[in-house]
Amino acid sequence: MKLKELIRDIPVRRVINFNNVEIAGLAYDSRKVRPNFLFAAIPGTQKDGHAYIHDAIDRGVSAVLMQRKDIVIPSTVAGLVVDNTRQTLAQLAAVFFGHPSKRLQVTGITGTKGKTTTAYLLQALHQQAGENCGLISTINYQIGKRAITSSNTTPESLDLQEMMAEIERSDCRSVVMEVSSHGSDQGRIAEIHFDTGLLTNVASHEHLDYHGTFKNYLQAKIKFFSQYLVSSEKKNKVAVINLDEPVARHFLSALAGKDVRVVTCGKSGKAQVRLVSFNLDRKGNNLKVMIDGQQQEFFSPLLGLGNVYNALLTIAYGWARNFHLDIIRAALSKQVSVPGRFEIVDAKQPFSVVVDYAHTADSLKSLLLSVRALRPERIIVVFGCGGDRDRSKRPLMGAVAARLADLVIITSDNPRSENPLQIIQDIMKGISFLRRRRCVAIVDRREAIRQAISFARPGDFVAIAGKGHETYQIFQKTVIPFDDRVEVRKALEDLALKTGREKE
């Protein structure tokens, strides 16, 4: 694509060395630059892309997008000076890839918890209806039959547009994606034309290391609806809102009078898709839901209280988008495998083990209440808190664990640059003196998991929380392979061998 065509409708403050060259591709990482690419210098929270402009030039770029006008570039390279390179990159990427989201049915899911599982359920719903559906999630990006391990919950705008174009080429009519607060706040989803937006929930202690305050975090979530969904060029736009959330009124207010149909769900009597009752057991969740004045029954094999609402959101979405109720039932009843989300590890042991991504006080509470609803003899929980992240949630998680579990093992969870012992001490501050009797600190996460498995007795439930699908641990600047599910299986194998030897 010629540079002039690429920037035709893009506001550029100043052009340096203009030459209507052919642009072969776009990049914001200088290491991914190829000859005749346009390089976008994006100021980040840790690194500034302007520092890599000359590296990109050495690799053969034809044009540079930048905010600073004091950088000297060769006369052979075109310079485009704009007010906001991240925002402009989103516009350029949409033009370069031909605005694929205008032709796909795009659904965005935002919230603190439940985004990933709900995204998997909505993809299953579309597939049950006979549609190929792309997926952009915290765990992976599914493009046709190809799956790529994800790097961000919501990728950068350039990566999003490229994925959308590839999803369209893969004969997909629709795509379901998670929308993080970072993705909304930083404009990564700019130029994506959404058909539907869903709100799962909003917890008070999440990403405060980035947003600073809960108010800022909430506003980032609202922005997805009030700005990105509202400004979409799609017709018949829909917002599905969990009405049981205390902050739901803020979302409803932001959408009032807008060209968006609002569909509400929840236990509230005002909800259009109302949860009448539900029953949890070890086979799954049974839901009774009132829709259009008639009570309907649904079953999902996904365990846990959180999955009751994930299923309810799926039902509300399906109803709002005119899926037949039988198709919704069939999609929900299938065993959708969501890695690291209430994932049961079964090696025929006489107790249960679940691995879950719960890494906030609210999500840990939901996990432990879900386990408690299955009536185990005892609950043993293993968890930690990430380093270089919001410290205020650490004592809150400690308090929740000590209150709801019978035995608490506090350990490491991506300590990064922090001392793991200090993180554990921060967690312990939330645990009362009397409840500390049931708590133990084991810094080594592998050993913590092994000890939890060794402590378990028949009928117990062991919950390994915090990392879920993650396959690594971060210490300082070193990333080492580590998977809770693998470690659980190893511990169970060792226990089985030990038990077998003792019987002999």
For 455-478, write each residue's pLDDT tens digit: 999 999 999 999 999 999 999 989
Helices and strands: H and E segment counts in the chain = 17, 24
pLDDT above 90 for 212: no
User: Residue 46's pLDDT is what?
Assistant: 80
Beta strands 352-356 and 343-344 are: antiparallel
pLDDT above 90 for 153: no
pLDDT in tens, 365-384: 999 999 999 999 999 999 99
Averaged pLDDT score across all residues of the chain: 95
Is residue 244 within 8 A of residue 114, CB to CB? The reply is no
CA–CA dist 305, 280 (Å, integer): 8
pLDDT above 80 for 52: yes
pLDDT in tens, 403-436: 999 999 999 999 999 999 999 999 999 999 999 9
pLDDT above 90 for 327: yes
Is residue 1 within 8 A of residue 62, CB to CB? The reply is no
User: Residue 449's pLDDT is what?
Assistant: 98
| Main-chain dihedrals φ then ψ at residue 182, nearest 5 degrees | -65, -45
3-state helix, strand, coil in the chain (%, to 5): 35, 25, 40
Between 69 and 79, the more confident residue is 79
Averaged over 271-298, what is the pLDDT?
96
CA–CA dist 442, 384 (Å, integer): 10
| Distances in whole angstroms, Cα of residue 138 to Cα of each of 154, 196, 495 | 8, 19, 33
3-class secondary structure, 209 = helix
Q: Which residues contact 29 (CB under 8 A, 6 or more apart)?
A: none
Q: Can you list the domains of the chain with their CATH numbers? A: 3-96 (3.40.1390.10), 100-333 (3.40.1190.10), 343-503 (3.90.190.20)
User: Residue 335's pLDDT is what?
Assistant: 86
pLDDT above 80 for 131: yes
pLDDT in tens, 224-273: 999 999 999 999 999 999 999 999 999 999 999 999 999 999 999 999 99
